[in-house]
Amino acid sequence: MNEKFGEIKQEIVDGIKGLQSSKAVYEFKKQFLDNKAGKIGLLMKEMKNIAPEERASFGKSVNDLKEWAQARFAELDETMKSLELERRYAEEKIDVTEPGAEEKSGNLHPITQMRNEIIDVFSGMGFEVVENKEIENDYYNFTALNTPKDHPARDMQDTFYLSPEYLLATQTSAAQIHTMEAKKPPIKILCPGKVFRSDDDATHSPMFHQMEGLVVDKKITLCDLKGMLDEFVQKIYGEGTTTRLRPSYFPFTEPSVEVDVSCFECGGKGCKLCKGTGWIEILGAGIVNRKVLANCGIDPDQYSGLAFGIGLERVTMLKYGINNIKLLFESDIKVLEQIDNN
Ligand code: PHE
């Protein structure tokens, strides 16, 4: 019997050497210490074949062997667990000094950036944003804006007609009529929108973006217009930029003005951008024509208004020195990535 004890011990001592993981230790341990099928457990079943006077010492020997084996396996379990932990730490080690992977995030299209910037400036002055319609009828786009059929001013805008009555909006000015019909003064709105004209060259595209501004209240004058536009150009083109108004003509404003901005490239001395004049034309504006107010049921003796129309492509091209409008529509990532104001 003693021989059998020795064999089991030796088997454990030898077997333990090759074990590589906690799982292997667990499986190997089961062969000896499993209550039912383990080799040490089975020794107890031999008890009935042992002479009664030797049973006590036999039982003790089995228990000693069991305790010895349990202690070996417990030790082994400990070492194995700490080895495995070390292995895991080594595998999962993070080098905190390694430079992070650069995360690329897209940016808004320059026109959208400009649109948001302008909205920011004017909402700071209390303007409310109203979206413009892309399809208009002839009345809102022209007639109500004091441009009836056969009016020569219709030639100023090459219109895409969808039917004799409907057309693609040629200007955001129709928003003036929609707003004044729906709401009485005081009115202070900004209307961004897409507009369409049959025009296509380096600085014109058949679809472009405008932003209409309209203020109607008592005693609104050209001074209010100039004050607001000065604030606008300073925010977009920098401190010290100013505007000048030149007489112009639009059927829906009287008087009408063309607004120039002092050249932000040369500070007014004269350069290529301003063609030596020190000024750059940026938008059309004026005092709302009395007839337009009356068309919308607003008494022109009591109220007056100012309106302006900003071409977003034009102000964006000027700000970033873009000389061809196509660059804004081709969506070439290499170009667009260079224009990020945020
Ligand atoms: N609607 C004019 C245009 O598209 C611009 C404008 C708007 C002029 C408002 C005066 C007042 O050319």
pLDDT tens digits, one per residue of 277-290? 999 999 999 999 99
CA of 243 to the centre of ligand 1 (A): 17
Same domain? 212 vs 288 = yes
Choose one of 92, 122, 139: the last residue of a domain: 92
Same domain? 56 vs 186 = no
Would residue 306 count as lying in a domain?
A: yes
Q: Is any atom of ligand 1 closer than 6 Å to the C-beta of 309?
A: yes
Same domain? 255 vs 183 = yes
Q: How far is CA 163 from CA 159, 168, 195, 305, in A?
A: 11, 10, 17, 32
Pocket probe mutation, ligand 1, options 155, 173, 245, 306, max atoms within 8 Å of Cβ: 173
The single-letter code of the amino acid at 248 is: S
Which one-letter DSSP state was computed for residue 260?
Answer: E
**pLDDT tens column, 38-92:** 888 888 888 888 888 888 888 888 899 899 999 999 999 999 999 999 999 999 9
The count of structural domains within the chain is 2
Same domain? 291 vs 324 = yes
CATH of the domain at 134: 3.30.930.10
pLDDT at 116: 96
Q: Is any atom of ligand 1 closer than 6 Å to the C-beta of 173?
A: yes
Same domain? 30 vs 144 = no
Tell me how many helices (H) and strands (E) the chain has: 12, 9
How far is Cα 285 from Cα 255, in angstroms, rounded to an integer?
Answer: 9
pLDDT at 1: 66
Q: Is any atom of ligand 1 closer than 6 Å to the C-beta of 110?
A: no
Residue ranges, the chain, pLDDT below 70: 1, 341-342
Q: Is any atom of ligand 1 closer than 6 Å to the C-beta of 196?
A: no
Ordered DSSP codes for 225-249: HHHHHHHHHHHHH-TT--EEEEEEE
Q: Is any atom of ligand 1 closer than 6 Å to the C-beta of 285?
A: yes
Would residue 105 count as lying in a domain?
A: no
CA of 251 to the centre of ligand 1 (A): 9
pTM of the model: 0.71
Range of the domain at 332: 110-338
Helices (H), the chain: 2-17, 22-33, 39-45, 55-91, 110-123, 138-141, 174-182, 222-237, 290-295, 312-320, 326-329, 333-336
Same domain? 86 vs 171 = no
Which residues have a Cβ under 8 Å from the Cβ of 213 and sit 6 or more positions away? 122, 127, 189, 190, 191, 228, 285, 306, 307, 308, 309, 310
How far is Cα 125 from Cα 291, in angstroms, rounded to an integer?
Answer: 27
